[in-house]
Structures are given as C-alpha cells and as structure tokens.
C-alpha cells in the first residue's frame, strides 16, 4: 500500500553529522524536505550568567569552552572587548603575536571543518590528511601556552608570556610544507566527480538572504559579499597586514569550500608577514591587578573562523565583574539560515548544509 | 575495630521534590545579591556626575580655606606661629596604560541625521569608546529600524546582534534592549537602545531584519521580554517547561546540591556524613568494614 502523505523525522540530537547535539525536525515529501526546524539548547551551560558572576580575568576560560575548535579566536575577541571597555592600549609585539596565533587557529578550525565536512559527505581520506596538519598547529599551541585545545592564550592587556624559544622555527617549518598539503587536499577534492555532485548547487543561500539573516563569515563571502571584519573594522595587527578577502559568487556548498581553501592560503600569508615583521618590545601593557571599569558598554566584533563573533559587555562602576555579558555567537546566527538552505532540497543534502555552515554546538548553545 | 568518629552533622536543607522547582530563600547559599546601581551609559548622566564631583571638590577646598583662616586668626590672637596654608589636592595620576573611555558628545553624521529625522523620539545620542549609541523612545523603534535600513545616507543592512540587560535598581524602567546594526557597504556600526519597563511588549524587529528571529527568542528565554508580532515566540535554549529567566539579576547562580557542600571548607565532615547517608540508603554499611 502506498500512501501519499508527508513524513516527519528527527535528524539528531545524536547523529554523527550534526557536529554535536543538534536536533533538526524534518518534514519530508518523498526525499524532498518541505519543512526544516533546528532545535538547539542541549549543550546550554549558561556561560553568560557564569561570566557575570566572575571577574573579568576569570571569564576568559569560558570563551575557550564555547567554540572549542577556535578557542584562540574567541580569546582574542574577549581580550579586545575588555581592552575596549577599560581603554587599554596593547603593545605592538603582543598584537603581532595575537595575529599570528589567531591565524594559526583559523587554519586549525578550517582544517577540522574540511575533515569533518568531507567525512560527512563520504570522502574519508581528507579527514586523515587534515588532522595530520592540525596536529602540528595544536603542538604549537602547546608550545606557546601549554594547552592544545582550550588555550586561554591571551590576557587582558596583552600576553602572559612571550613566544617560547624555537617557536619561530616550528612555525616556519609548518609554513614551508603547508602549501603542498593544501594542494594534496585540492587534488583529492576540487575536481573529484563525486565531491562536485554532492556540493555544486547544494544548499544555496543568496547574498540578500544571507545579509537579511545576519549570516557572516565564509558563507556570506561565498555569496559574493566581500565582508571580512579583519578588513572592514581592522583589529589586532590586521591593519598592517597585506592580504585579500577571497569571494565566490555561486553561493553553494562548493563555493564555500573554495572560499575556505583560499582563506587558508591568505592565513598562511598573514602568518608569514607576522613572522617576518615581528617587532621587539614588551608583550603586556601596564595594568592594575584588579580591573574596575567605569559605566560603559561595548560591542566588539572580530572575525572568528566561523564568522563574526561579538562580545557585548556592560561595565558597572567599581565592580570587578561584568554587569552584563553577551556573546553574539557566529554559529547561532548562521544556523538560522539552515531552513532556507535545506527546504526544497533532498534529505541527503541536509548533511552537506550542516557541514558547510561549520557549526559547533558548544558555541551555539553557550 | 573502633568505630570511626563521626562529627555532629550541620543542618543541610532538603532539596525540593521536582527537578525544576526553585525556592530562592530555601538555601543560604542561594541568596541573590541584587545590584544597587544602574550602570546605564549616558552622556547626560556623565555630565551631571562630573558637575557634581567638581562642585563637591570646590566646596571641600573652600572649607579648607575657611578652616585655615579661622586657625590663623586664632593663632594670631594667641600669639603663636601661623599654621601652614592649605594646599589644594591634585588628583592622583596612575602610571599605567589605562585610558578610561568616557562618553562624549555626538559628532558623527549618522547620529545627527537620526536625531534630525526622528526629532523628539530620540532621547539621547552620544559616542563612547568609538561606538555610536542612539537611545530611542520605546515606541519609535520600528520606525528607526526601517529608517536605518532604507535611508540612503544610513544603509545599515545587517542586524548583527540584539541583546537586553536587566536593571532591577532602576525606578522608571526594568530592561534595556540594544540593537547592534552593521553597515557592510559603509563600514559602520550603530547601537540603538530602548528602555522598557517590566511587562512591556516591544515590537519585534523580525519584519525589518529577519535575523532578529532567534535573537529575540533568546532574549525571551533569558530575560522574559516577549516581542509583539514575532513569528515564533518560544524558548530557544532552555526547555519549554523551564521556570524563571536565567539572565535576570534575581535568578540564583547555584542549583540544588551544588554549593550546599563546600569542598574547601569541609570542616564538619559533611561530605563523609552525606556519603554514609547515601550508603545507608543503598543498604551498604560503610561504618564497619567486612571481617575477613
């Protein structure tokens, strides 16, 4: 007996392709998705509330644990938002080291995206290659701050420590081999017939929709909008760096793949410039041990690997804690566009749509 | 085998039965310290504070001079040496890299244009730490958002972030709702702010900026501000049957059983006592080890 009616199924919350505990309610007509609703909150820990009850210095460790794939980028945003709140000027050498580590982190985050996205779609080999290179970056994280994933790399006002001896050698060694690694991935994927069939024209999101839905990062740039906060509102040492903002116009999953691959090349370029032009000097500004702000509110946005991460802080006069702390998580806003991408497509393609958004549920649920 | 010495147990409040029942007053550790000030940045308040501080400083200096005059007259009458004349105290200068960003007068063209277009609906405009803030009347928000998006000289295409703050110490409002707009083409950011009292239902921004959908749901979930004409005004991060709104200032930080035992100050042997109690419930005798 064949019935002609829509079927409702749940994708997740426990599913390997949802990158965490994301549940997507789907309504299907045959294999076509007619309705899609993401359900989130399974990883909610109340980071904002916790940070409001801790001092400005203590809050930083929580930013690592939001998006654990790009902990350094989250640390940078937090440190800079606080510096804006207190009016701290960071030494130039610290700015360079921050830029350097942030770009390494972008590489690590994009590599983990490439690995898992390809794995979701069915390309197993890339996973192993990408994790091999990511391991080197995590080793550098470990050399710098003793921690691989949850780094707490920066401090408000600069850095806790200067670069360790031998770090530059490690970084240059990595940079020397990284372009060939990128070529390896591209040889495996770019002209691969199956990869192209699974990605070209899949999960489209036009520039108008992306801007209306607040989508940022590589997803927006793949729709042809050259919006990169590193260029638009320069922070750290990005104003002194020479790099391009790669864009594509196709606005599909394949275009986002191309944008991210091009971004990795630009990141390597920025790292090279940081290493070559590293200034001498102190790495920590002179600030008191206990920071107490005046009445002030700041919204500071930086370009995390996933998109715009913004920190909204309200300072209370004479208090050691932030009065209000809010995170504009890039994944949270980007995930809003999932119904737009997935509806009308096939059920097999929603896995590609989730992968191409590059979400981390720890950051979305906070 | 001697029995282990068990110190007398301090009183531990019993947890309520249901998982989502909160009784704030039940546990001493769950007492909430409410904020006493209203840290709402404002150029007007800042000017008033600076003026009051200068007046207080001047009054203090006048009093010091008057005291000196009387002391001098008294010394002259007694035939003693005249006292030292007072020195006006200079504000202490800290040797550090901190330069507090104070609110400044609005000079940016966008803010002035908004004030010109909206007139009395704009309550305040100022700049602080390089950020533009425009405080609006709570009813005029929708109009302002439309203007910001569509006016050819403003052109703020994206609503980057929306958030709210609870101010329980304020008398005429309870929450501030802030909208962070981004102009991609003009590389500018703008903050719109409205102050809403408890129970007020502001207009949703979804019809102007669809990205407000989840952000407004999050505000509803965390602070309990419902938005009118929102397509799906439900909780987003907490479960649907959750009680209370976590980011209000009167919501406690600790849950049941978390802070009731302080591991650092376990002087009364509370952990051991609770372990014994639990073991007793499970029918295990921890007090007397089994004989070989």
Structure tokens at B164: 């709210």
The stretch B9-17 carries a mean pLDDT of 57
CA B172: distance to chain centroid?
16
pLDDT at B55 over 70: yes
What does the pLDDT read at residue B176? 93
pLDDT at B260 over 70: no
For chain B, the domains span 41-84, 104-223
What does the pLDDT read at residue B257? 47
User: For residue A319, which residues of chain B lie inside 8 Å, CB to CB?
Assistant: 39
CB nearest B97 (choices: A52, A88, A225): A88
In DSSP terms, A39 is beta-bridged to: A23
Domain A7-365, CATH class in plain words: mainly alpha
CB contact under 8 A, A296 and B95: no
Phi, psi (degrees; rounded to nearest 5) at B24: -60, -35
What interface predicted TM-score (ipTM) does this complex get? Answer: 0.89
Q: Which of the four pLDDT bands, split at 50, 70 and 90, describes residue B17?
A: very low
Cα distance between residue A131 and residue A125, in whole Å: 10
CB contact under 8 A, A332 and B214: yes
CB nearest B253 (choices: A53, A157, A232): A53
Angle at which helices B141-150 and B109-118 cross, to 10° = 130
CB contact under 8 A, B129 and A87: yes
pLDDT at A300 over 90: yes
Query: What residues 298-317 of chain A have any CB closer than 8 A to a CB of chain B?
Result: 298-299, 301, 308, 310, 312, 314-317
Cα distance between residue A315 and residue B102, in whole Å: 12
- Of A152-166, B23-37, B119-133, B157-171, where does mean pLDDT reach its minimum? B23-37
Residue of chain B whose alpha carbon sits nearest to that of A54: B253
User: For residue A316, which residues of chain B lie inside 8 Å, CB to CB?
Assistant: 35, 37, 39
User: For residue B211, which residues of chain A lie inside 8 Å, CB to CB?
Assistant: 212-215, 333, 336
The model's pLDDT over A231-263, given as tens digits with 9 standing for 90+, comes to 999 998 899 999 999 999 988 999 999 999 999
- Of A176-185, A341-350, B95-104, B161-170, where does mean pLDDT reach its minimum? B95-104
Cα distance between residue A222 and residue B269, in whole Å: 61
Spatial contact of A324 and A59, defined as CB atoms under 8 Å apart:
no
Mutate which of A90, A214, A328 to test chain B, going by most B C-beta atoms within 10 A? A214
CA B210: distance to chain centroid?
27
pLDDT at B24 over 50: no
CB contact under 8 A, A328 and B211: no
pLDDT at A139 over 60: yes
In DSSP terms, A66 is beta-bridged to: none
The DSSP annotation for B85-133 comes to PP-PPPPP---SSB-----EE---HHHHHHHHHHGGGEEEEEEETTEEE
Spatial contact of A60 and A79, defined as CB atoms under 8 Å apart:
yes
- Of A182-186, A205-209, B78-82, B205-209, where does mean pLDDT reach its minimum? B78-82
Helix, strand or coil, per DSSP, at residue A176: helix
How many Cβ atoms sit within 10 Å of the Cβ of residue B11?
5
What is the torsional sign of CA A317, A322, A323, A325?
A: positive
Query: What residues 280-299 of chain A have any CB closer than 8 A to a CB of chain B?
Result: 285-288, 293-299
Q: Which of the four pLDDT bands, split at 50, 70 and 90, describes residue B30?
A: low
The model's pLDDT over B207-235, given as tens digits with 9 standing for 90+, comes to 999 999 999 999 999 998 999 899 988 99
Query: Helices marked H in chain B — which ranges?
Result: 43-78, 109-118, 141-150, 212-223, 270-282
User: For residue A53, which residues of chain B lie inside 8 Å, CB to CB?
Assistant: 253
Mutate which of B159, B163, B187 to test chain A, going by most A C-beta atoms within 10 A? B163
The stretch A88-111 carries a mean pLDDT of 92
Structure tokens at A36: 């899609």
pLDDT at B15 over 80: no
pLDDT at A269 over 70: yes
For chain A, the domains span 7-365
Burial of A80 (0-12, 13-18, 19+ CB in 10 A): buried
Q: β-strands A322-328, B188-196: how paired?
A: unpaired
Nearest to A313 by CA among A325, A301, A302: A325
What is the torsional sign of CA A296, B127, A75, A313?
A: positive
Find all residues with CB under 8 Å of B24, minimum gap 6, and list them: B30, B31, B32, B250, B252
Cα distance between residue A295 and residue A317, in whole Å: 5
CB contact under 8 A, A301 and B160: yes
Q: Which of the four pLDDT bands, split at 50, 70 and 90, describes residue A287?
A: confident
Find all residues with CB under 8 Å of B16, minimum gap 6, and list them: B23, B26, B256
The DSSP annotation for B4-34 comes to PP-PPPPP-PPPPSSTT---TTSSGGG----
- Give me chain A's average pLDDT, please: 89
A33 phi-psi bin (left φ>0, alpha ψ -120 to 50, beta other) = beta
What does the pLDDT read at residue B250? 83
Cα distance between residue A191 and residue A11, in whole Å: 30
pLDDT at A104 over 90: yes
User: For residue B251, which residues of chain A lie inside 8 Å, CB to CB?
Assistant: 49
Domain B104-223 has CATH 3.30.460.80: yes
In DSSP terms, B132 is beta-bridged to: B127
CB contact under 8 A, A365 and B178: no
């Amino acid at each position: 007996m064949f019935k002609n009616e829509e079927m409702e199924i749940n994708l997740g919350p426990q599913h390997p392709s949802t990158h965490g505990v994301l549940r997507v309610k789907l309504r299907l007509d045959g294999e076509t998705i007619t309705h899609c609703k993401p359900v989130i909150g399974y990883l909610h820990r109340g980071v904002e509330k916790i940070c409001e009850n801790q001092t400005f210095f203590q809050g930083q460790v929580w930013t690592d644990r939001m998006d654990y794939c790009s902990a350094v980028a989250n640390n940078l945003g937090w440190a800079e938002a606080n510096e804006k709140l207190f009016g701290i000027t960071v030494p130039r050498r610290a700015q360079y080291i921050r830029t350097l580590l942030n770009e390494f982190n972008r590489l690590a985050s994009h590599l983990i995206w490439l690995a898992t996205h390809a794995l979701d779609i069915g390309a197993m080999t890339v996973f192993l290659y990408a994790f091999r290179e990511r391991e080197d970056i995590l080793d550098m994280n470990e050399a710098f701050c003793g921690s691989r994933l949850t780094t707490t790399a920066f401090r408000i006002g600069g850095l806790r420590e200067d670069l360790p001896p031998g770090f530059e050698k490690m970084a240059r060694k990595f940079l020397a081999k990284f372009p060939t690694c990128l070529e390896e991935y591209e040889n495996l994927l770019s002209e691969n017939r199956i990869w192209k069939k699974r990605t070209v024209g899949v999960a489209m999101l036009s520039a108008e929709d992306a801007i209306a839905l607040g989508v940022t990062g590589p997803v927006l740039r793949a729709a042809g909008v050259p919006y990169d906060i590193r260029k638009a509102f320069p922070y750290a040492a990005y104003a002194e760096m020479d790099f391009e903002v790669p864009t594509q116009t196709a606005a599909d999953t394949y275009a986002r793949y191309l944008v991210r691959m091009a971004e990795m090349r630009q990141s390597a370029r920025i790292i090279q410039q940081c290493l070559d032009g590293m200034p001498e000097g102190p790495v920590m500004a002179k600030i008191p041990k206990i920071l107490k702000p005046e009445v002030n509110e700041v919204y500071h946005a930086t370009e995390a690997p996933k998109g715009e991460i913004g920190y909204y802080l309200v300072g209370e006069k004479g208090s050691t804690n932030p009065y209000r702390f809010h995170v504009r998580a890039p994944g949270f806003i980007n995930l809003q566009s999932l119904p737009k991408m997935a509806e009308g497509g096939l059920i097999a393609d929603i896995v590609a749509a989730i992968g191409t958004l590059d979400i981390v549920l720890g950051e979305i649920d906070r | 085998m001697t029995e282990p010495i068990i110190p007398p147990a301090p009183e531990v409040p019993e947890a309520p039965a249901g998982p989502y029942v909160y009784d704030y007053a039940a546990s001493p550790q769950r007492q909430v310290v409410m904020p006493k000030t209203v840290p709402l940045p404002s150029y007007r308040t800042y000017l008033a504070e600076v003026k009051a501080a200068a007046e207080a400083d001047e009054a203090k200096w006048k009093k010091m001079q008057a005291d000196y005059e009387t002391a001098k007259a008294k010394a002259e009458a007694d035939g003693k040496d005249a006292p030292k004349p007072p020195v006006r105290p200079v504000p202490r200068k800290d040797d550090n890299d901190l330069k507090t960003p104070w609110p400044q007068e609005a000079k940016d063209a966008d803010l002035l244009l908004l004030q010109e277009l909206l007139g009395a609906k704009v309550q305040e405009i100022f700049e602080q730490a390089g950020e533009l803030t425009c405080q609006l009347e709570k009813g005029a928000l929708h109009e302002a958002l439309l203007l910001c998006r569509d006016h050819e000289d403003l052109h703020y295409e994206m609503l980057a972030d929306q958030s709210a703050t609870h101010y329980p110490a304020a008398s005429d409002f309870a929450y501030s709702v802030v909208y962070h707009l981004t102009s991609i083409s003009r590389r500018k950011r703008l903050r719109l702010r409205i102050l809403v009292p408890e129970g007020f239902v502001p207009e949703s921004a979804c019809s102007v900026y669809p990205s407000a959908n989840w952000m407004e749901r999050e505000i509803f979930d965390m602070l309990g501000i419902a938005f009118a004409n929102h397509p799906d005004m439900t909780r987003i991060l907490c479960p649907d049957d959750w009680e209370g709104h976590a980011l209000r200032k009167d919501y406690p930080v600790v849950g049941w059983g978390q802070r009731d035992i302080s591991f650092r100050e376990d002087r009364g042997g509370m952990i051991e006592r609770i372990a014994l109690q639990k073991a007793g419930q499970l029918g295990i005798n921890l007090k007397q080890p089994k004989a070989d």
